[in-house]
Structure 1
Amino acid sequence: MSPPRLSRPRATAVAIASLLVLGASAPALAASRTAGKPTAAHAHAHHHPLPASYTIPGDKTYPEGIARQHGTPYFYVGSTSDGTIYRGDVHQPATKVFLPGGKDGRTSVAGMKTDRAGRLIVAGGATGKVFVYDTRTRALLHVFDTGRTDVFLNDVALAPNGDAYISDSVHPALWHITAAELKSKRVPLPLRVGVDLGKSPIDYNAGFNGNGLVVTGDGRYVLLSDYNDYAFYRIDIRTHEIVPIDLGGAKGISGDGLLLRGHTLTAVTELDHPEGQIATLKLSRDYTEAKLVRTLHGHGMHSPSTAAYDGHDLLIVNFQFQIADPKLPFNVVRVHTD
């Protein structure tokens, strides 16, 4: 039996965020993520069945973000409680420490993505920083710092041109790192606001707001979920116009983590669904309307946060946010979507 869900006032969010900056073991805010096309390894999965789940070490890990690295068998998962980053191989049932927690000031991590150059881009939650690593050498390449304490950098999305966008759950901003900045040799670099969400239809109120996000295939829009308000928005990267996405009357659809293929949007959440919910929505051509196609529950999920594509499967992170006595071991579960 799951414990009763805790309320999510801004004061609590700020308090938890402060603990995470100090490296406390309390779980962090939810968030979330995308990436990865079918790989050759996955194409042979019917000959060699892949594990149904992947264990993550530690009893206070509270893993939140995930990145599936294209062209390799690897995926990465991060701990909100101490900033450890783990690496898994889709063929092996256990993950291993890739980058130890606390190093480089990385005391908590949330969403993450890998880009085509083999960089791992990691949102640092309440640290207000984005960390960038070389997955081949494990070297720290960049620290992009907001310089603020009233932020929670939650999810990362990559645009076709190589730019990165980062959602913020407590401060009304969409943060932006250009492809040129990611390639730069300069360290550290400031993190800049890409779009100010302060005067927009997105209502930043008590609790967690901007969360899962994706960039459309044409690179023109960011689709952002407002986690607490069960809402989704289309943000024009060039004009900064923000338009609510009409869900056609569908209720209870939230996006802690988002994935996008073409005009099919997948939203993962534990909000109101400790058994997990995966919602599949079909978007209109201009991304302003969405029709709910189906929802999935269960499938080994326990208060999940987000997902990554692995071929036609989803790798779902069981975050178990705010659960004092989590189901151990923490893990990532494979969910077949066909």
Structure 2
Amino acid sequence: MPSVRIRRARVAAVAVASLAVISTATAPALATPDATGEPTAASVQHRAHLPASYSIPGDKTYPEGIARQHGTPYFYVGGTSDGTVYRGDVRQSATKVFLPGGQDGRTSVGGMKTDPAGRLIAAGGATGKVFVYDTRTRALLHVFDTGRTDVFLNDVALAPNGDAYISDSVHPVLWHITAAELTSEHVQQPLHVGADLAKSPIDYNAGFNGNGLVVTDDGRYVLLADYNDYAFYRIDTITHKVVPIDLGGAKGISGDGLLLRGNTLTAVTELDHPEGQIAILKLSHDYTRAKLVRTVHGHGMDSPSTAAFDGRDLLIVNFQFQIADPKLPFNVVRVHANR
């Protein structure tokens, strides 16, 4: 039976969210450079022996979000179909169930991040909730609840001060969790609006709107992708003012997932590109302009959604969103970002 694809930009159904990539999934990854900028011999040998892909169990998993935990060999992947969270070890080619689906009302998981305290923060899509777990004990720490049913919590971004921001793909708000809320002893907490986007330049229409997001290094701005409209915006975390990012005439650039390093923004999407499209953009110092450096297609991507940095490499989730007969096993592929 041939694959059945429904254009995600026009259908708000299951998950979406986060981050980006580049290059080949089969080539061995290059290494972290030494002080001179060149890879060390030891690190080259280490990277060459890491798996090129990581399998995810289940034939209806449809994995979407990913978080790479700093200081450990672990990464976490969320299943949109039932909320299962899987944990992988970058040295091993198979992931394992970390948190079974359905627990704590977690029936779907989209974007996720881990913070320096070892907390896993996962957006719950149409549940309207954000779930926070201790990665050491698997204990549920918090459930932040919008109390709404007309939402789709999509992606998570962390600020330098420990705050978390969550995009909403169908309701025009940016949600916000403070560092103090994350460290409190209260499990059940309301999820508060960080910025009202209803009267902003962002046009929320049918389908998926606010999607991938990142926080700038100074914590002043959230950069948010409007998935439907191939647009990007700068949101001031203090004044909440929203400014469109001028892409310099570049067309067809969408952001299901975003990554930011310095002034380099990497956007990944499968919108109009089932083989995946990665866009590398250079941002101006005030984040209001971007110049497209290059786009990359293919290279092991298969309807990808999101990615996470692993040193100089990227771990990319092949979502295969709404494909009726997905290629199994679902997987995460390792790519080198600087080719």
Check whether TM > 0.5: yes
Q: Which of structures 1 and 2 has the larger relative contact order (alpha carbons within 8 angstroms, sep 6+)? A: 2
| C-alpha distance after superposition, 1:297-332 (max 9, x if no partner) | 111110000100001111100000010000110000
Residues 123, 156 of structure 1: 8 Å contact kept? yes
Structure 1: which amino acid aligns with 2:106? R
- For the pair 1:31 / 2:42, whether they are aligned, the reply is no
Deviating 4+ runs (over 6 angstroms): none
Structure 2 residue runs of 5 or longer lacking an equivalent are 21-30, 34-38
Q: What percent of counterpart residues are identical?
A: 82
Matches within 5 A, 1:1-338: 3=3, 5-8=5-8, 12-13=11-12, 16=13, 28-33=14-19, 44-48=42-46, 49-338=49-338
Q: Gaps spanning 5+ residues in structure 1: where?
A: 17-27
Distance in 1, Cα, partners of 2:67 & 2:55? 16
Alignment CA distance shift 1:2-1:295 (3 Å): farther
Instruction: Name 2:26's counterpart in structure 1.
Output: none
The answer to whether the 8 A contact 2:231-2:254 is kept is yes
Q: Could you say what secondary structure the match of 2:44 adopts? A: coil
1:201/1:244 contact within 8 Å kept: yes
2:24 matched to which residue of 1?
Answer: none
The one-character-per-residue Cα deviations of 1:62-115 (angstroms, maximum 9, x if unpaired) are 000000000111000000000000000111001000000000000000000000
Q: Contact between 1:33 and 1:155, CA under 8 Å: does it hold in 2?
A: no
Letter paired with 1:30 = V
Per-residue CA shift, 1:24-70, capped at 9, x if unaligned? Answer: xxxx2321248xxx989x98552132111000000000000000000
Matched residues, number? 320
Q: What TM-score does the superposition give when structure 1 sets the normalisation length?
A: 0.91
Q: CA RMSD in A?
A: 1.8
State the AA in 1 paired with 2:45: H
Q: Does structure 2 conserve the Cα–Cα contact (< 8 Å) formed by 1:2 and 1:274? A: no
227-236 or 47-56, larger mean C-alpha shift: 47-56
Secondary structure of 1:46 counterpart: helix
Letter paired with 1:32: S
SS of 1:299's equivalent in the other structure is: coil
Q: C-alpha displacement at 1:248, in angstroms? A: 0.5
Q: Distance in 2 between matches of 1:178 and 1:250?
A: 35
Q: CA deviation at 1:335?
A: 1.0
Q: Measure the CA separation in 1 of the matches of 2:2 and 2:288.
A: 36
Q: Alpha-carbon deviations, 1:257-284, whole Å to 9, x = none?
A: 0000000000010001100111110000
